[in-house]
Amino acid sequence: MKKYVTVRVGKHISFFYDKKAVVVLAALIAAAIFLFLISIGSGEIRMSPLEAAAALFGYGEEIHQTVIVTFRLPRVLVAWLAGMALAAAGAILQGMVRNPLASPDVLGITGGAAAAVVGFLALFSDENHSLIVSIHWLPLAAFLGASAAAWLVYMLAWKNGLAPLRLVLVGIGVSALMQALTTLLMITGPIYRASQANVWITGSVYGASWQHVLLMAPWVIGLLLVAILAARHVNVQELGDELAMGLGGAVERQRLGLVLLSTALTGGAVAFAGGIGFVGLMAPHMARRLVGSAFGALLPTAALLGGVFVMGADLAGRLLLAPAEIPAGVFTAALGAPYFIYLLYRSRKS
């Protein structure tokens, strides 16, 4: 029986996937929709998933429609998009550096984006704490910060090649540096901004608006499409440099492209949802266990899982201590850190 199915469209689009991946993907989409409906139905005004679905399509009570469309929908969408972006970025990084412990936050990329965003807020605010430039530039700042951190890690870890272990350790160092810069920027600003920045750094989708969704959606969805098209390069990269070159891959150029792709995804997520940690680490792992490591299936599975994680974390944060809210990032860290430790424990064999 043939386990893998190959899809080839034209010259540039090709990938293969595990047959069971289709089932997994369908189940994940169903889970995402279910969680989505619960999430937009939960809060001070509660409604059942059915009522929520009805309100979404313009039926049901007017107040339900208002609450959902104005407040909850943008928030849930931002959580979903951020989760997908972070998970996809983690999947690309892990495939590329062939290290299961790589992720945007361990490698300091999230930290770089966070430092850049806090710097952006500090630099471009007037005395009344309002931005003097358009918030449209925020994702760009996050992307630049993420790229700078990625570049720094890449350069510092390079020593006759890129040993995965060295990469992770250097990443830990660069994270610490970015954290110090972020704290410095927070402390030099007024306390009002510091508390805002703190909520944001922990990772929260509180107060997300349609403006955020409209800025974020094209960025993240566009990049995800590019990532799916680039999936075959990751498959080749995973074989190791020599084999990849032997297969005719432009290894270094592709690697640069993939790094840019994952930093752009991280930057997009961090710009709007803050430093939600551990998603980029967890989701790709779980995806690999579900659908194997063929990238055509792994990437969308990881992305969907990531979306579900962050949506779930946001929901839990809203419900647990209501009316107080716990930032989503606290939950992803509370789940992710033990998972990371479990991976460490399992990796003892290698």
**Contact positions toward other proteins, by CB under 8 A?**
101, 105-106, 156-157, 159, 165-166, 168-170, 172-174, 176-177, 179-180, 183-184, 186-188, 191, 194-195, 198-199, 201-202, 204, 277-278, 321, 324-327, 329-330, 333-334, 337-338, 340-341, 344-345, 348-349
Closest of 96, 149, 92, 99 to residue 119, by C-alpha: 149
Written as six digits, the tokens of 62 are 């007017």
What CA–CA distance (Å, rounded) separates 332 from 281? 10
User: 76 or 101, CB closer to other proteins?
Assistant: 101
Tokens encoding 141: 């700042």
> Among residues 153 and 261, whose Cβ is nearest to other proteins?
153
Distance CA(142)–CA(157), nearest Å, equals 22
Quote the CA–CA distance of 221 and 225 in Å, as a whole number.
6
Structure tokens given for 117 = 């965003």
Rounded to whole angstroms, the Cα distance separating 96 from 262 reads 10
- Comparing CB distances to other proteins, the nearer of 97 and 333 is 333
Cβ at position 130, least distance to other proteins in Å: 19
Residue type, position 271, single letter: A
End-to-end CA distance of the chain: 31
Q: How far is the CB of 163 from other proteins (least distance, A)?
A: 9
Provide, rounded to whole angstroms, the least separation between the CB of residue 106 and other proteins. Answer: 7
Residue 207's identity, in one-letter code, is G
User: Between residues 171 and 300, which has the closer beta carbon with respect to other proteins?
Assistant: 171
Nearest distance, CB of residue 181 and other proteins, angstroms: 8
Residue 202 or 235: the one with the smaller Cβ distance to other proteins is: 202
- Min dist CB 149 to other proteins, Å, is 12
**Phi (first) and psi of residue 14, to 5 degrees:** -155, 140
How far apart CA 251 and CA 256 sit, in angstroms, is 9
- Smallest separation, CB 211 to other proteins (Å): 22
Identify which of residues 78 and 201 has a Cβ nearer to other proteins in the complex.
201
